Amino acid sequence: MPQDAPSSEELNNINAYWRACNYLAAGMIYLRDNPLLREPLQAEHIKSRLLGHWGSSPGLSFVYVHLNRLINKYDQDAIFLAGPGHGAPGVLAPVYLEGTYSEIYPNKSEDEEGMRQFFKEFSFPGGIGSHCTPETPGSIHEGGELGYSISHAFGAAYAPGFAGGRGGGRWRGGDGGAGDFLALQ
């Protein structure tokens, strides 16, 4: 095994974290109550209007979780830019799980009631947008706008001083495409 490869324990932890992100993403899209499924699922627990792309969410969370691991491991200056429309569950889930969302929005606490609010308010008028909105912690653009995410990726790649002057990071665009951006010196 290469020296820098994650250990089996680290991979198991990453996988568990990613699965938790997927549960949160599905919960945001489908559930308005019973967030931990402590009682049998009933029709009144399900949202009547479903909005959010499940197909984008696991991929977005996967990239987020692994990029975060690399940023922490190698003390990198990097940025993750998400472009998929309605892909917010895939970005909001890890932001909630890491505690950042609850720091900014205390009523979305890291407990059952906070999770209930988090799920209930997702894609609800006056609640949490189905795109990564400016209210999303760490967001620098309106998600769902592929052009914006590409322009921000380009700017980050060529920004002087960003990532040690080299620029770089991960861009996830569309509902199925992903790309790396690196600026060469």
- 34-56 pLDDT, tens digit per residue, is 999 999 999 999 999 888 778 88
Residue 144 has pLDDT above 70, yes or no: no
Across 93-108, average pLDDT: 95
Alpha-carbon span 146 to 169, nearest angstrom: 16
Residue 147: φ, ψ to 5°: -60, -40
- Please report which helix (H) or strand (E) contains residue 69, including its range: helix 57-74
Domain range summary for the chain, segments of one domain joined by +: 8-182
Under the banding of pLDDT at 50, 70 and 90, the label for residue 170 is low
Sequence-distant (≥ 6) Cβ neighbours of residue 57 within 8 angstroms? 21, 22, 25, 26, 29, 87, 89, 90, 93
Beta bridge partners of 178: 172
Considering only 54-63, 83-92, 162-171, which range has the smallest mean pLDDT? Answer: 162-171
Mean pLDDT of the chain: 81
Assign domain 8-182 to its CATH superfamily.
Thiamin diphosphate (ThDP)-binding fold, Pyr/PP domains (3.40.50.970)
- Give the full edge-to-edge strand order of the sheet including 168-173: 79-82, 168-173, 177-182
Global pTM value: 0.82
